[in-house]
């Protein structure tokens, strides 16, 4: 069960020896929005690792608003990620959009991300509950905390306790930022549940200039980790370039974040 009443201790999700949750360490996941090919992901993986990140992200199946936008490289992208993992030793995080890809993801991906748009894809949640893989469950674009936790419950009710929550901003009237980052969910989630929570300041803001401030605030508020979009040529990125940090700024952010993590 998701409720802390049934499980007072913090859940720690172990990803190939890296622990998400508990108080030990802020886990930082970095990488491009989309995998664009072997050379791109291998290059960025190396930079992200040198910056001090713990894991690599990259989308191979992309839930795009327009059907004419780049839809991701699919299985080839997953293979590119797996190669980058071999080269750097970093576990890989990628988004799964449908039940028919479960076997592929279980075999090749370390953390299966459920995107905001699929938070209430109940068939997908039930199927993920039958695996034992770590699941990164993003909050839906317009979903309440209760709805989000019930989605986590679907995965756990199926028998999979390895759920990591991810706040990625919600829809509000404000148009200046892509979404509105709801930082208050961090202490609320900590009170209501034993599950780890990480913050995605990239999709929450849509603007790389806001990513560092929101990341540091999230750590100060008690987040267990961050997932951040990083690209070495953001102006040429195939998706979400405007919110992607260059590796150098990503490194600076991690250094500052580790300092704050030590005092909270």
The conformation of residue 119, written as its DSSP 8-state character, comes to T
Inter-CA distances, 24 with 89, 148, 216, Å: 21, 25, 17
Half-sphere exposure of 11 (CA within 13 A, CB side): 26
The conformation of residue 139, written as its DSSP 8-state character, comes to P
Least separation in angstroms between residue 23's CB and ligand PEP is 26
Specify the residue, 94 or 162, whose C-beta has the smaller distance to Mn ion. Answer: 94
CA angle 160, 161, 166 (to 5 degrees): 105
**Contacting ligand PEP (CB under 6 A), which of 49, 85, 101, 168?**
168
Half-sphere exposure of 93 (CA within 13 A, CB side): 28
Cα dihedral across residues 262, 137, 107, 228: positive or negative: negative
Buried/exposed code over 110-133 (b: 16+ C-beta within 10 A; e: otherwise): bbbbbbbebbebeebbebbbebeb
Query: Does residue 231 touch ligand PEP according to CB under 6 A?
Result: no
Phi, psi (deg, nearest 5) at residue 130: -85, -5
Buried/exposed code over 76-97 (b: 16+ C-beta within 10 A; e: otherwise): ebbebbbebbeebebbbbbbbb
Query: Does residue 203 touch ligand PEP according to CB under 6 A?
Result: yes
Binding mask 32-61 for Mn ion (x = CB under 5 A): -x----------------------------
Least separation in angstroms between residue 113's CB and Mn ion is 11
Partner whose footprint covers residue 168, from ligand PEP, Mn ion, none (CB < 5 to 8 Å by kind): ligand PEP
Query: Does residue 30 touch ligand PEP according to CB under 6 A?
Result: no
Query: Does residue 33 touch ligand PEP according to CB under 6 A?
Result: yes
Specify the residue, 190 or 203, whose C-beta has the smaller distance to ligand PEP. Answer: 203
Partner whose footprint covers residue 251, from Mn ion, ligand PEP, none (CB < 5 to 8 Å by kind): none
Partner whose footprint covers residue 25, from Mn ion, ligand PEP, none (CB < 5 to 8 Å by kind): none
Query: Does residue 225 touch ligand PEP according to CB under 6 A?
Result: no
- CA separation for the pair 134, 136 (Å, rounded): 7
Query: Does residue 49 touch ligand PEP according to CB under 6 A?
Result: no
Site for ligand PEP in 79-98 (CB under 6 A): none
The binding site for ligand PEP (CB under 6 A) comprises 33, 59, 63, 115-117, 138, 168, 200, 203
Judged by the rule CB under 5 A, the positions of this chain that interact with Mn ion are 33, 240
């Amino acid at each position: 069960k998701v409720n802390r009443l049934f499980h007072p201790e913090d859940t720690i999700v172990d990803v190939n020896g890296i622990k998400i949750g508990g108080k030990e360490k802020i886990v930082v996941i970095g990488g491009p929005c989309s995998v664009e090919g072997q050379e791109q992901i291998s290059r960025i993986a190396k930079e992200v690792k040198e910056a001090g990140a713990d894991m690599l992200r990259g989308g191979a199946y992309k839930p795009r608003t327009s059907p004419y936008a780049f839809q991701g490289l699919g299985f080839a992208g997953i293979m590119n990620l797996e190669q980058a993992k071999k080269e750097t030793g970093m576990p890989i995080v990628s988004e799964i959009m449908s039940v028919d890809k479960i076997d592929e993801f279980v075999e090749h991906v370390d953390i299966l991300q459920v995107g905001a748009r699929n938070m209430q894809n109940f068939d997908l949640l039930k199927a993920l509950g039958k695996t034992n893989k770590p699941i990164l469950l993003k909050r839906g674009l317009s979903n309440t905390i209760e709805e989000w936790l019930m989605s986590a419950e679907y995965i756990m009710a199926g028998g999979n306790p390895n759920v990591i929550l991810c706040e990625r901003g919600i829809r509000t009237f404000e148009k200046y930022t892509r979404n509105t980052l709801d930082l208050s969910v961090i202490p609320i989630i900590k009170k209501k549940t034993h599950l780890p929570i990480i913050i995605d300041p990239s999709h929450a803001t849509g603007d790389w200039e806001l990513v560092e401030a929101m990341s540091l605030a999230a750590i100060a508020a008690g987040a267990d980790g961050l997932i951040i979009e990083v690209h070495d040529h953001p102006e040429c990125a195939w998706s979400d370039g405007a919110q992607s940090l260059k590796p150098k700024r990503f490194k600076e952010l991690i250094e500052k974040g580790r300092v704050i993590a030590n005092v909270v």
